[in-house]
Amino acid sequence: MRAIAQRVHLHTSRLYRSLIRAGLTCRSDRFFDTLAITVPGGSDSVMAAAVREGYNLRRLDNQTIGISLDETTTEADLQALARILNVELVEGDVEPQLSQGSCRNDTILTQEVFHRYRSETEMMRYLRRLSEMDIALDRAMIPLGSCTMKLNAASELTPVTWPQFNAIHPLAPADQCQGYRKMIDQLEAMLCEVTGYDAVSLQPNAGSQGEYAGLLAIKAYHESRGEHDRDICLIPSSAHGTNPASAQMANMQVVVVKCDDHGNVDLDDLDQKIATYGQRVAAIMITYPSTHGVFEAGVTAVCEKIHAVGGQVYIDGANLNALVGVAKPGHFGGDVSHLNLHKTFCIPHGGGGPGVGPVGVRAHLAPFLPRDGVNPERVGPMIAAAPFGSAGILPISWMYIQMMGGAGLRRATQVAILSANYIAHRLKAYYPILYTGNRGLVAHECILDTRPMEKDGHVGVDDIAKRLIDYGFHAPTMSFPVGGTLMIEPTESESLAELDRFCRAMILIHGEYVQVRDGVWPADNNPLHNAPHTLDSILAEETQLAYPRRLALCPDPEASTAVKYIPPVGRIDNVYGDRNLVCACPPVSNYESVEETELTPAMVP
């Protein structure tokens, strides 16, 4: 890495020397890899000359251009840049422009892991060992509710690896991105068709950013009509945490609307809040189907009530996996929604890769979408640095929609809803389903109420989640949106066999709970309390289990022990760290030798 950095800097120094020798000036003589060069002939002619040679430079102003070099820069690149700038390239080695004093000289990457694997064989096995420790989608279903952990098909991901998509700069000139534009336009049109909205911006990089962009559009719309006092955002108590956070960022005041016993928006409370705030209501943010996993029968009534006082309806579309091809938020009352392409539309998102949270709006809000330099009517503030956000991963969603087609998308929604109802139906005798619609059905996910088990058996939601690991499953969503419960979303990607394997695990776990409740196993020595079981915990001499080792490690009698997932770590106390803050900063004494005047704020622990 040091060699790479030195090489990049020497290339840049050589270009710099060549420019100075030719009488050009740079903004600074201190640089690493980037030069800002004053070009007497004007930036535009230099930029044009660069494009003719196959390079994009950065235009800083009329007279200044920016050039960055990196580890892919070759001698031929330097020669071409010299030609473009009309200078003679200095031959041979030059001195680095950065003085030794400004370079880092301490040792880096000293941790053993950076030095232990010195052959490809070793590296390959290291990576394999790391993946062995994960419960990922290549091993079992990930039933995380509200997360839509569906298949990310290989054929959807393949185009992302093509240089035509991944070797282009996000800010490349428009005439070099015609293909991208075509894909973006088509994807926007397909998402309009799916949602029933008139315009979609792909700029937001996350669902939460889509919320922010949508609320800014609502605000700008009100202001364009002279309604500057609309500052209230109504949000039902079941909302995803990002909703109130986004409303606050958009400078709105959050007013919480209650939910009734069935988990639906409490219409009486809504009426009261509307009566209290009237013309101050800017918007309501609702999720449909609700975060409780239910299609709320009153959704159109909610939308009408808000519209009647001049407010706008934001429908959180992160649960679109229950709607695609079946219902359109833009048609049943929404003015604006975000979608999560990294949920419903197959972009991978476990582990926190880039996301896309497009925001869709009805026509009256379209002018207030984030500006992107391509749609001249959009004049809202940019909410990401690049006009089309994480454009490099859009081929995934484009492929998904194209390959599925309208009928396929509807079928996926139907199967996702069917799968969730199948699980709810099979498990409801063991775990009460917290919320259902008026026909006893759920949407694409369901909430299992495990709170009674805590009360009479001291088996908590954590115990069940950890025990699922012994059965080879990733835990469902815990304690969201209701504390002490599990929310399960199977998606359309799971086969009946996998759904059955999951249900069997949950039913067996319930059986274990019964044994704890009935005193067969002690409350502090049972498979649930001790889960997940590592090999170490089983093999240790001092381990005294009140139950058979086989039950601890391989509890599902129908599952093969040959491919058993073995948890690499036992249980930790999840919230201990949150409640017992430990400062990892170096102690103040470390700074004793430093003169007091040299202490910068960043150094003060």
Ligand X SMILES: *Cc1c(COP(=O)(O)O)cnc(C)c1O
Joined tokens for residue 162:
């093509």
Joined tokens for residue 376:
């001249």
Shorter beta-carbon distance to ligand X: residue 37 or 475? 475
CB of 340 to ligand X, least distance (A): 5
Distance CA 174, CA 166 (A): 16
- The type of residue at 399 is M
CB of 316 to ligand X, least distance (A): 5
CB 493, CB 419: distance < 8 Å:
no
- The type of residue at 144 is L
Taking CA atoms, 391 is separated from 207, 232, 260, 293, in Å, by 15, 33, 41, 31
Taking CA atoms, 328 is separated from 195, 296, 432, in Å, by 5, 14, 31
Selected from 43, 73, 291, 397, the binder of ligand X by CB under 6 A is: 291
Q: Is 494 in the site for ligand X (CB under 6 A)?
A: no
Selected from 18, 238, 242, 493, the binder of ligand X by CB under 6 A is: 242
Residue 251-290 contact track with ligand X, rule CB under 6 A, x = bound: ------------------------------------x---
CB of 236 to ligand X, least distance (A): 12
If we measure between CA atoms, which residue out of 352, 354, 344, 319 comes closest to residue 487? 319
CB 471, CB 509: distance < 8 Å:
yes
Selected from 142, 149, 177, 206, the binder of ligand X by CB under 6 A is: 206
Shorter beta-carbon distance to ligand X: residue 64 or 205? 205
Shorter beta-carbon distance to ligand X: residue 141 or 318? 318
Q: Is 334 in the site for ligand X (CB under 6 A)?
A: no
Selected from 73, 146, 312, 321, the binder of ligand X by CB under 6 A is: 146
Q: Is 491 in the site for ligand X (CB under 6 A)?
A: no
Taking CA atoms, 496 is separated from 407, 419, 428, in Å, by 21, 8, 18
**What are phi and psi for residue 275, nearest 5 degrees?**
-65, -40
Distance CA 15, CA 35 (A): 9
Shorter beta-carbon distance to ligand X: residue 244 or 472? 244
Q: Hey, is 284 helix, strand or coil?
A: strand
Selected from 156, 296, 316, 512, the binder of ligand X by CB under 6 A is: 316
Residue nearest to ligand X (CB): 207
CB of 114 to ligand X, least distance (A): 32
Shorter beta-carbon distance to ligand X: residue 480 or 591? 480
CB of 486 to ligand X, least distance (A): 16
Q: Hey, is 376 helix, strand or coil?
A: coil
How many residues at the interface with ligand X, by CB under 6 A? 14
If we measure between CA atoms, which residue out of 360, 358, 383 comes closest to residue 372? 383
Q: How many residues belong to the chain? A: 605
CB of 176 to ligand X, least distance (A): 29
Taking CA atoms, 99 is separated from 29, 103, 104, in Å, by 11, 7, 10
Distance CA 353, CA 334 (A): 29
Selected from 357, 380, 387, 555, the binder of ligand X by CB under 6 A is: 357
Q: Is 208 in the site for ligand X (CB under 6 A)?
A: yes
Shorter beta-carbon distance to ligand X: residue 97 or 319? 319
Find the part of the chain contacting ligand X (CB under 6 A) among 221-229, 275-283, 313-321, 472-480: 313-321
CB of 212 to ligand X, least distance (A): 10
If we measure between CA atoms, which residue out of 493, 491, 528 comes closest to residue 509? 528
Selected from 35, 143, 180, 207, the binder of ligand X by CB under 6 A is: 207
Selected from 9, 11, 230, 240, the binder of ligand X by CB under 6 A is: 240
- What's the distance, CA 582 to chain centroid? 28
If we measure between CA atoms, which residue out of 450, 453, 456, 448 comes closest to residue 428? 448
Selected from 18, 64, 312, 340, the binder of ligand X by CB under 6 A is: 340
Does residue 532 have a cis peptide bond before it, meaning omega lies within 30 degrees of 0? yes
Find the part of the chain contacting ligand X (CB under 6 A) among 160-168, 200-208, 417-425, 552-560: 200-208
- The type of residue at 585 is C
CB of 343 to ligand X, least distance (A): 6
Rounded to the nearest 5 degrees, what angle is found at the Cα of 300, between the Cα atoms of 295 and 303? 120
Joined tokens for residue 410:
């509807």
Shorter beta-carbon distance to ligand X: residue 13 or 337? 337
Find the part of the chain contacting ligand X (CB under 6 A) among 8-16, 18-26, 76-84, 312-320: 312-320
Would you tell me which residues interact with ligand X (CB under 6 A)? 146, 206-208, 240, 242, 287, 291, 316, 318-319, 340, 355, 357
